Amino acid sequence: MDYLIKVGAFVLVFGLLIVFHEFGHYAVARLMGVKVLNFAVGFGPVLVAWRRGETEYSWRLLPLGGYVKMLGDDPSAPMDSESASDPAAFHNKAVWRRALIVAAGPIFNFILPLLVLFGSALAYESELVTPRVGTVVPGGPAAEAGLRAGDLITHVAGKPVLTFDDLVREVSGRASQPTEFKVERGQERLTLTARPREVIGAAAAEIGIVERFGRILLYPGEQVPTVEVQPGSLAWQAGLRNGDRLRAVNGQQVSTWRQAETALQALTGRAAELTWSSLHLSGAVPRAKLRETFQHQHASASKTASLPAPAVGQVAAGLGLSPGHRLIGPIPLDSAEDAQLGLRPGDSLVALDGKQVLSIEDAVDRLKAPYEAVLATPGYHTWPPPQRLERLQQSLLGRQLTVQRQLRPADRQAVAALLADAQLRSGGRQPKTALERWVKAQPDAQSQLDRGWIELSGPLQLAVKLNRDEHPELSLGLTSLVDRKPPEMQPNPHPIAHALRMTGAEFWRGATIIAVSTAELIKGNVPVRDLGGPLRMAQLTSEAADHGFEAVLRLIAWLSINLGILNLLPIPLVDGGHLLFLGIEAIKREPVSLRTRQVAAYVGLTFLGLLFLIVMKNDGQRVLQSWLAP
Give the residue numbers marked as catalytic. 22
Give the residue among 300, 295, 293, 256 at the shortest CA–CA distance from 279. Answer: 300
Helix (H, G, I), strand (E, B) or coil at 492: coil
In a 13 Å sphere around the CA of 325, the CA atoms on its Cβ side amount to 22
Sheet holding 302-308, edge to edge: 252-253, 245-249, 271-277, 302-308
Contact by Cβ (8 Å): 14, 537: yes
Give the residue among 399, 536, 381, 523 at the shortest CA–CA distance from 468. Answer: 536
Work out the burial of residue 336: count CB atoms within 10 Å of its CB; fewer than 13 is exposed, 13-18 middle, 19 or more buried.
buried
Helical (H) or strand (E) element with 56: strand 55-70
Q: What are the distances in angstroms from CA 98 to CA 73, 88, 103, 226, 573?
A: 9, 12, 9, 67, 15
Contact by Cβ (8 Å): 131, 162: yes
**CA distance linking residue 291 with residue 105, whole number of Å:** 43
Give the residue among 558, 533, 551 at the shortest CA–CA distance from 618. Answer: 533
**CA distance linking residue 466 with residue 529, whole number of Å:** 14
Using alpha carbons only, give the angle 554, 558, 562 rounded to the nearest 5 degrees.
165
> CB pairs under 8 A, 24+ apart, for 606-610?
607/571, 607/572, 608/571, 608/573, 608/574
- Return the DSSP state at 305: E
**CA distance linking residue 421 with residue 431, whole number of Å:** 11
Give the residue among 599, 598, 595, 605 at the shortest CA–CA distance from 573. Answer: 605
Contact by Cβ (8 Å): 172, 198: no
